Amino acid sequence: MPKDRWQILPHCASEADNLDIIVTCDGASSVGQVGNEVAIKLTKEHESARMCCLSAIAAGSKVHQDIAKKARKLIVINGCQLECASKIIRNNGIEPTYEITIAKEGIEKAPTLDFDDEDVERIANKITQEVLKK
């Protein structure tokens, strides 16, 4: 996509308290990639929702830890039952507003980066109904 058509997102560090912040494990498996694609879709479709860098939180970036703490809502997306994203958040003393684990939503964890777009649509709708619209 040409740069002049990029969707510029709100600045997460300065606007966190007005944003629903989404973090995802982005795991290297079907379910990890469904979670990442869901986070992208929600970020693109909801003006006040935005992905934030989970790796930066895990790496000890205070700026990113503060974004997660200050967020209006903090939505955590895990690929599988290991729930790495939730563990990173809690290890930083932060309680998520909402958590979801893709492998518990009827989607098989497979060693592939491919996924079904219908699964992404279904999970994105579920998160929208259960937390973003509330």
List residues near ligand SF4 by CB under 6 A: 25, 27, 29, 31-32, 78-80, 82-84
Specify the residue, 65 or 78, whose C-beta has the smaller distance to ligand SF4.
Answer: 78
Write down how long the chain is. Answer: 134
Specify the residue, 16 or 100, whose C-beta has the smaller distance to ligand SF4.
Answer: 100
Minimum distance of ligand SF4 from residue 71's CB (angstroms): 20
- Which residue is nearest to ligand SF4, using beta carbons? 27
Specify the residue, 27 or 96, whose C-beta has the smaller distance to ligand SF4.
Answer: 27
Specify the residue, 36 or 65, whose C-beta has the smaller distance to ligand SF4.
Answer: 36
Minimum distance of ligand SF4 from residue 93's CB (angstroms): 20
Minimum distance of ligand SF4 from residue 15's CB (angstroms): 27
* 75 contacts 23 by C-beta, under 8 angstroms: yes
User: What per-residue string of b and e applies to 33-61 under the rule 16 or more CB within 10 Å gives b?
Assistant: bbbbbbbebbbeebeebbbbbbebbbeee
- 49 to each of 3, 22, 31, 63, 69, how far by Cα in Å? 22, 7, 21, 18, 15
Token pair of 79 as six digits? 């690929």
* 30 contacts 114 by C-beta, under 8 angstroms: yes
Minimum distance of ligand SF4 from residue 108's CB (angstroms): 12
